Amino acid sequence: MCYFRYAASLCLLTAALAAAADTAWPSVANGFFEHRYSVLDQINTGNVDRLGLVWYFATGSRRGLEATPVMVDGTLYTTGTWSRVYALDARTGRLKWSYDPQVPRRAGAWACCDVVNRGVAVDAGKVFVGTLDGRLIALDAATGKPVWSVQTTPTDRPYTITMAPRVIDGMVLIGNGGAEYAGVRGYLTAYDENDGCQRWRFYTVPGPADDASNPQALARAAKTWPDARWTQLGGGGTVWNTIAYDPRLKLIYFGSGNASPWNRYLRNGGAEDSDDLFSASILAVHADTGRYAWHFQTTPGDAWDYDADGNLVLVDLPIDGRPRPVILQANKNGFFYVLDRRDGTFISANAFVAQNWAAGIDPKTGRPQLAGRPYDDGGRITRPAPYGGHNWQDMSYSPDTGLVYVPAADVPFLYQPEPRFAPLIGAWGTGLDLAAQAAPPGMDPLLLKALVDNAVAGKLVAWDPVRQRAAWTVKQAMPWNGGTLATHGGLVFEGTADGAFRAYDAGTGKLLWDYKLANGIIASPMTYEIEGTQYVAVMMGWGGSFALSGGQAAYVPGRDYRGYLLVFKLGGQATLPPPQPLDSGIPQPPPSTATPLQIAAGNRLYNQYCAVCHGANAISGSAIPDLRYLPNAVRGALDRIVLEGALQNAGMPEFSRQLDARQVAEIDAYLIKRAQETRASLTQPGWWASVKAFFYRLIAPALNWINALRH
């Protein structure tokens, strides 16, 4: 077996010595250094075109699937929606056991970015999973029966867990998310893998004195928060995705998210120079005690939701002619960072996507120089968006090419302060006016599509971390594509938003294999070998923050949101069941009796409160209901659903603290208008729609340019 933990050479040697043995994928990122690289090369550049589906497992879900499976001792362990765990025979796909932690569906209201889970950790006969409602559960790896369970978050605050735990030296490490809501303070906790007893906890931002860990580091951090009210409320800085480990240095590395709220002017009373440590930072702590070792803040005083939670990769790189232990991150802020992982010393950074928030990065300190004020009352269109130049979708590193394969995105976002922001604990609370993204009511849906298509882009970037530049780039149809896998077969695998699973030549980016699917992929692939056969596995299930807020997948016809685990091998002959698209007929809405003012108010309210899940401009990009398709029977119950929480157990939050009956009626008036517009658009003659779409594509760049000038 090859536990890829230390260096590629050691792993290659192990593989050669044990050629006949199975090759595991023992943790979500295949080892402490989190390269997401495999030494396997049975599937390679010469034969990948013969790769075919060998088996699949239907999760029975229609929401996002983000897990990377783990393969240990012939069993594939993975997770689905609502933190469900599956154990399958890695050769045949036979389900050995499944475990449903019965997450209360109301926990979905606190999940900013879908009811997803990014996988398990496996060690010492146990499988560890973090649940959406904040528990860490140890299961018997053979039976799936719970061994212990611990509540890792306060249940009266809007915390969630979507990350995969990591096991390091007998400890299970888990963080949590929630910094888009008011009342969350980020931390990472280590639990004993045997009994779930807490070993240590590291808070990323200062807070009430009585639960301060690392008092010196947090006292220093407190000086960078001019207005302590926000740290008393929560402060953000959540550790929601990545953890890496260097066993030689005994340092654990992780990232922290945005300070809460996003709007830095609210947070800091207008102070321009407050950093709000240790939010938006890469951090290192001593593994045995959880004591602070070092930090590097990627976005001081973040104003844009530039979490530093993108996956961290540990490599030894030749810097100025000598090898240096470094840590790599393609940050949400659009810059690729190389730091010395011994002490956090900044080595280099460069932009891997278009960005306009920073004028540059100080080459000595790594501190960004801002390109003017982040935003003012008029708002500012900024790149990257809160979705990030690179988000949680994992990048991979190949020691064969020395390149890092980054699923990158170019999405602009209008950052505009919310006029009257008052944080409500447990409620969405960024301090930014999400309604600023709304299209004017009455805009032709085809024009809206053309504007979005023109504004956003996705790409796979092969980044040279030494030269800090792209070796090659492949343009994708949309942003929000899957994570990547690199292999010794000279391949890079990636699933895409528009429904494909692809393999590229790792050295050149040449497309070598293109497997078409009816659903999008956001998860990262993995690979393993059993009895001399190499398999490649990936979870298929479109979702996550970009999808929920509308994405572009809404425009992909015949979309089937059913989720699957897909497993491939050379010569595989299996086929998925035929697509089952969601119903595409829009019920006839009642006649609109609202005034244009009421519809405009409804537009603002919808896009402020509903769009993060149901999709901007009432176009759902996921299986969460598209409210233009609202049956009239449900329409009559809107008050009960929105104000009284009638569908809380289906995951629909109640908004009684934010909205009243008059405002719900305004949202309904807007939805009726949108349903009418969409019906009209769908019933127009095809030739006329084509002519209009062609014309809109021509004028979209100019309209987007004019809009950018206004902001």
Stretch that binds Ca ion, among 285-293, 297-305, 367-375, 616-624 (CB under 5 A): 297-305
Output the smallest distance, CB 236 to Ca ion, in A: 7
Phi-psi region at 610: left, alpha or beta (left = phi > 0; alpha = psi -120 to 50)? alpha
Output the smallest distance, CB 181 to Ca ion, in A: 10
Stretch that binds Ca ion, among 79-87, 306-314, 575-583, 619-627 (CB under 5 A): 306-314
- For residue 453, report the phi and psi dihedrals to the nearest 5 degrees: -55, -40
Q: Give the HSE-up count for residue 176: Cα atoms under 13 Å, Cβ half-sphere.
A: 30
When asked if residue 276 is in the footprint of Ca ion (CB under 5 A), the reply is no
When asked if residue 433 is in the footprint of Ca ion (CB under 5 A), the reply is no
Q: Which lies closer to Ca ion via its Cβ, residue 332 or residue 604?
A: 332
The CA distance from 20 to 152, in Å, is 42
Q: Which lies closer to Ca ion via its Cβ, residue 282 or residue 492?
A: 282
Q: Which lies closer to Ca ion via its Cβ, residue 386 or residue 525?
A: 386
| Cβ count within 10 A of residue 163 | 27
Tokens representing 13 are 């040697």
Residue 195 known to be catalytic:
no
The CA distance from 172 to 168, in Å, is 6
Stretch that binds Ca ion, among 66-74, 168-176, 212-220, 301-309 (CB under 5 A): 301-309
Q: Return the beta strands (E) in 256-385 as ranges.
A: 281-286, 292-297, 313-319, 322-330, 335-340, 346-351, 358-361, 368-370, 380-382
Q: Return the beta strands (E) in 451-563 as ranges.
A: 457-464, 469-476, 484-487, 491-496, 500-505, 511-516, 526-530, 533-540
Site for Ca ion (CB under 5 A): how many residues?
4
E strand or H helix that includes residue 683: helix 661-683
When asked if residue 193 is in the footprint of Ca ion (CB under 5 A), the reply is no
Stretch that binds Ca ion, among 59-67, 249-257, 290-298, 683-691 (CB under 5 A): 249-257
Residue choice 23, 176, 258, 552 for contact with Ca ion (CB under 5 A):
258
Output the smallest distance, CB 204 to Ca ion, in A: 12
The CA distance from 623 to 115, in Å, is 12
- For residue 607, report the phi and psi dihedrals to the nearest 5 degrees: -75, -20
Stretch that binds Ca ion, among 99-107, 250-258, 410-418, 697-705 (CB under 5 A): 250-258
Angstrom distances, CA of residue 665 to CA of 591, 592, 607, 634: 14, 12, 15, 13
When asked if residue 302 is in the footprint of Ca ion (CB under 5 A), the reply is no
Q: Which lies closer to Ca ion via its Cβ, residue 148 or residue 421?
A: 421
E strand or H helix that includes residue 75: strand 75-79
When asked if residue 307 is in the footprint of Ca ion (CB under 5 A), the reply is yes
Output the smallest distance, CB 546 to Ca ion, in A: 13
Contact of 691 with 666, CB cutoff 8 Å: no
Tokens representing 632 are 């009239």
E strand or H helix that includes residue 708: helix 686-710
Residue 190's beta-bridge partner residues?
173, 200
When asked if residue 257 is in the footprint of Ca ion (CB under 5 A), the reply is yes
Instruction: Return the closest-CA partner of residue 617 out of 427, 445, 428, 497.
Output: 445
Output the smallest distance, CB 285 to Ca ion, in A: 21
The CA distance from 77 to 66, in Å, is 13
Contact of 25 with 528, CB cutoff 8 Å: yes
Output the smallest distance, CB 188 to Ca ion, in A: 16
Output the smallest distance, CB 413 to Ca ion, in A: 13
Output the smallest distance, CB 41 to Ca ion, in A: 38
Order of strands, sheet of 146-151, starting from the edge strand that comes earlier in the sequence: 121-123, 126-130, 135-140, 146-151
Output the smallest distance, CB 386 to Ca ion, in A: 7
Q: Which lies closer to Ca ion via its Cβ, residue 32 or residue 278?
A: 278
Residue 501's beta-bridge partner residues?
495, 515
Q: Which lies closer to Ca ion via its Cβ, residue 113 or residue 120?
A: 113
Stretch that binds Ca ion, among 54-62, 276-284, 299-307, 367-375 (CB under 5 A): 299-307
The CA distance from 176 to 135, in Å, is 10
Contact of 57 with 565, CB cutoff 8 Å: yes
When asked if residue 654 is in the footprint of Ca ion (CB under 5 A), the reply is no
Interface with Ca ion in residues 126-145 (CB under 5 A)? none
Q: Which lies closer to Ca ion via its Cβ, residue 305 or residue 677?
A: 305
Instruction: Return the closest-CA partner of residue 51 out of 486, 493, 576, 579.
Output: 493
The CA distance from 681 to 95, in Å, is 45
Contact of 308 with 276, CB cutoff 8 Å: no
When asked if residue 214 is in the footprint of Ca ion (CB under 5 A), the reply is no
Q: Which lies closer to Ca ion via its Cβ, residue 305 or residue 400?
A: 305
The CA distance from 11 to 3, in Å, is 7
Stretch that binds Ca ion, among 79-87, 147-155, 257-265, 586-594 (CB under 5 A): 257-265
The CA distance from 90 to 110, in Å, is 34
Q: Which lies closer to Ca ion via its Cβ, residue 258 or residue 299?
A: 258
Torsion sign, CA atoms 264, 265, 269, 275? positive
* Active-site residue (options: 276, 305, 307, 394): 305
Q: Which lies closer to Ca ion via its Cβ, residue 141 or residue 182?
A: 182
Output the smallest distance, CB 307 to Ca ion, in A: 4
Output the smallest distance, CB 461 to Ca ion, in A: 22
Q: Which lies closer to Ca ion via its Cβ, residue 310 or residue 615?
A: 310
Stretch that binds Ca ion, among 304-312, 493-501, 628-636, 658-666 (CB under 5 A): 304-312
Q: Which lies closer to Ca ion via its Cβ, residue 306 or residue 472?
A: 306
When asked if residue 305 is in the footprint of Ca ion (CB under 5 A), the reply is yes
Output the smallest distance, CB 358 to Ca ion, in A: 18
Give catalytic residues, as residue numbers.
305
Positions touching Ca ion (CB under 5 A) are 257-258, 305, 307
